[in-house]
Chains A and B, each alone.
Chain A
Amino acid sequence: DAGITQSPRHKVTETGTPVTLRCHQTENHRYMYWYRQDPGHGLRLIHYSYGVKDTDKGEVSDGYSVSRSKTEDFLLTLESATSSQTSVYFCAISEELGSPLHFGNGTRLTVT
């Protein structure tokens, strides 16, 4: 299994509070991704990174920011959480664009 660790695994937070989710990889893969999974929507890309300090937006990036200061870590921040951001968040990595993704086990976030 690819070495991907997401933390925390579960979090409950209140509307308006900031939240940071962490993804750590031990595979030295160049590409890292944040997806959210919601019933009926499959997985939707939030942001991705193609190298240290190189990031770009996905299809549902509003309300989210990311940072990648080291190859192995990719952080997702909700600056001011809203109830619509209640979801399961998955980090993924890949060696190259178009290569299969390897996923972490997810973070279940509940915004009350």
Chain B
Amino acid sequence: GNSVTQMEGPVTLSEEAFLTINCTYTATGYPSLFWYVQYPGEGLQLLLKATKADDKGSNKGFEATYRKETTSFHLEKGSVQVSDSAVYFCALSDGGSARQLTFGSGTQLTVLP
């Protein structure tokens, strides 16, 4: 079956530091890949997505590139802000069934001023 593995948290960074959150996946076929973000007390929000190999998703300064050869979709940001403190979830979708949307366990990010 499909699976998503994220780097363990929590991650604590100083403001303006570089961020990488690793995500690797196992899937049959050619899934779409997503990063969702969850702020305290809220539901998940789509941050970015990529639907095929070598696609780069980007939003709000965050980027992730769909790497089929390494089955990875690492999230990066060049300069984090305190407001980026949240939990980040990597996810994949086969698209064929609602059951085929698989989430990673989430990575808590805290950015200190």
A56 to B99 CA separation, bound complex (whole angstroms): 9
Q: Could you tell me the dominant secondary structure of chain A's interface residues?
A: strand
With A41-B105, A56-B98 in contact, do A103 and B89 touch (Cβ < 8 Å)? no
Q: Which A89-112 residues have C-beta < 8 A from chain B? A: 90, 92, 97-98, 100-106
Q: Which B24-50 residues have C-beta < 8 A from chain A? A: 32, 34, 36, 41-46, 49
Q: Is the CB of A42 within 8 A of B103?
A: yes
A-binding residues in B (CB < 8 A): 4, 32, 34, 36, 41-46, 49, 89, 93-99, 101, 103-106
With A42-B103, A42-B105, A48-B98 in contact, do A90 and B46 touch (Cβ < 8 Å)? no
Contacts of B42 in A (CB 8 A): 105-106
Shortest CB-to-CB span from B85 to chain A, Å, is 18
Identity of the chain A residue whose Cβ is nearest the Cβ of B105 in the assembled complex: A42
Identity of the chain B residue whose Cβ is nearest the Cβ of A90 in the assembled complex: B43
A101 to B91 CA separation, bound complex (whole angstroms): 11
Report the interface size for chain A: residues with CB under 8 A from the other chain: 25
Identity of the chain A residue whose Cβ is nearest the Cβ of B45 in the assembled complex: A103
Q: Is the CB of B99 within 8 A of A103?
A: no
Contacts of A74 in B (CB 8 A): none
Shortest CB-to-CB span from A48 to chain B, Å, is 4
Contacts of B44 in A (CB 8 A): 43, 90, 92, 101, 103
